[in-house]
């Protein structure tokens, strides 16, 4: 594929995004994304976590890994959640010349993650009985989290931080990693309503309010429910996957970056709260996002 033929927009610093089938991606992701679309055939036992960036992916990776592997405490203490649960388009299908590294299904359900929008994965998911967990987060906190993340990334490249006004404008215009955010959420929201047995739609805010209830709900959805006498196990998972515990492990505190992403491992953990946007966004920006949210979500009965 000729990347230069794709529409492109400046993102931050000298980074730009290219548009493929209505969504915006970093140019180097386009080919691996195409490989996932063309070559990934999910097994019925596969579990795929789908998110937009900065909606709590790292958290849910550790939760799903723990649910499927039960005693995972030790693993979580020594491996970053992104190593335990690889992204399809970033790790598994990263190399064009090498066959993807897919674990043997005999070792239990394979757990992957992706940010690819449903609109591009329609065929892949519509013909599979695999389980999809979609996690989303309110747009204002997602934007503020992304802005912090990018500025950490930015630090070594350009002197000027990425302004929040510019980040807000890009986000509202849909020019965001794997965005437009609203289309990303709605694609999976509709799919979850159509195929609730295969697709579970979860919000960061609901998880934060009732992590215990959601660990149990996810266990049921994945076909490995917790028995009545396993309450302690549920509690352990909640605790081991909390931001306090996860971010205290050396592997997650590390300033080293992974082989596949140019940011330190600790960049995936910041506050992990809801409503942090109030400390950063202007009233004008809040209004602009709220209006968009009303137009795009509320009209379909999805409240944020
Ligand atoms: P904040 O920047 O608002 O703190 P992603 O994993 O999709 O990149 O999302 C990162 C966001 O999830 C960050 O949000 C990060 O702090 C938060 N996060 C990471 N681990 C978490 C956990 N265990 N519990 C709650 N939030 C967590």
d(CA 26, CA 11): 9
Give the list of residues 6+ apart from residue 183 with CB closer than 8 angstroms, or none: 22, 23, 117, 119, 174
Ligand 1 binding pocket includes 57 (Cβ within 6 Å): yes
What residues are paired with 10 via a beta bridge? 16
Give the list of residues 6+ apart from residue 243 with CB closer than 8 angstroms, or none: 59, 269, 271, 272
Catalytic entry in 39, 80, 82, 115: 115
Q: CA 248 → CA 55, 241, 245, distances in Å?
A: 20, 11, 5
Q: What is the pLDDT of residue 113?
A: 98
* ipTM at complex level: 0.99
Tens of pLDDT, residue by residue over 250-284, are 999 988 887 777 788 899 999 999 999 999 999 99
Ligand 1 binding pocket includes 148 (Cβ within 6 Å): yes
Vertex 189 angle, CA 268 and 231, to 5°: 60
Ligand 1 binding pocket includes 140 (Cβ within 6 Å): no
User: Which of the two residues, 218 and 106, has the higher pLDDT score?
Assistant: 218
pLDDT band at 212 (very low <50, low <70, confident <90, very high): very high
Query: Is 39 a catalytic site residue?
Result: no
Cβ contact 125:42 at 8 Å: yes
Note the pTM of the prediction, 2 decimals.
Answer: 0.96
Q: What count of Cα atoms within 13 Å lies in the side-chain half-sphere of residue 17?
A: 19
């Amino acid at each position: 594929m000729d990347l230069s033929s794709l529409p492109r927009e400046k993102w931050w610093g000298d980074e730009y995004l290219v548009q493929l089938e209505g969504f915006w991606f970093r140019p180097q992701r386009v080919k691996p994304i195409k490989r996932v679309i063309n070559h990934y055939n999910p097994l019925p036992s596969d579990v795929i976590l789908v998110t937009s960036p900065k909606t709590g992916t790292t958290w849910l990776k550790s939760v799903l890994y723990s649910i499927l592997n039960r005693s995972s405490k030790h693993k979580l203490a020594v491996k970053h959640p992104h190593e335990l649960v690889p992204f399809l388009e970033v790790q598994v299908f990263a190399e064009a010349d090498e066959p993807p590294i897919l674990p043997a299904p005999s070792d239990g359900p394979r757990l992957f993650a992706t940010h690819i929008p449903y609109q591009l994965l329609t065929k892949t998911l519509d013909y599979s009985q695999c389980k999809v967990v979609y996690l989303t987060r309110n747009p204002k906190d997602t934007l503020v989290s992304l802005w912090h993340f990018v500025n950490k990334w930015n630090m070594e490249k350009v002197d000027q931080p990425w302004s929040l006004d510019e980040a807000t404008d890009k986000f509202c215009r849909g020019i965001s990693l794997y965005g437009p955010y609203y289309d990303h959420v709605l694609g999976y929201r509709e799919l979850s309503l159509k195929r609730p047995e295969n697709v579970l739609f979860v919000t960061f805010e609901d998880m934060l309010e009732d992590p215990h209830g959601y660990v149990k709900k996810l266990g049921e959805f994945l076909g490995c429910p917790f028995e009545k006498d396993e309450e302690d196990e549920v509690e352990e998972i909640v605790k081991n996957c909390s931001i306090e515990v996860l971010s205290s492990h050396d592997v997650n505190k590390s300033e080293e970056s992974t082989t596949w992403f140019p940011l330190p491992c600790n960049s995936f953990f910041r506050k992990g709260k809801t409503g942090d946007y109030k400390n950063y966004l202007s009233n004008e920006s809040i209004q602009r996002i709220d209006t968009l949210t009303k137009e795009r979500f509320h009209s379909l009965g999805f409240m944020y």
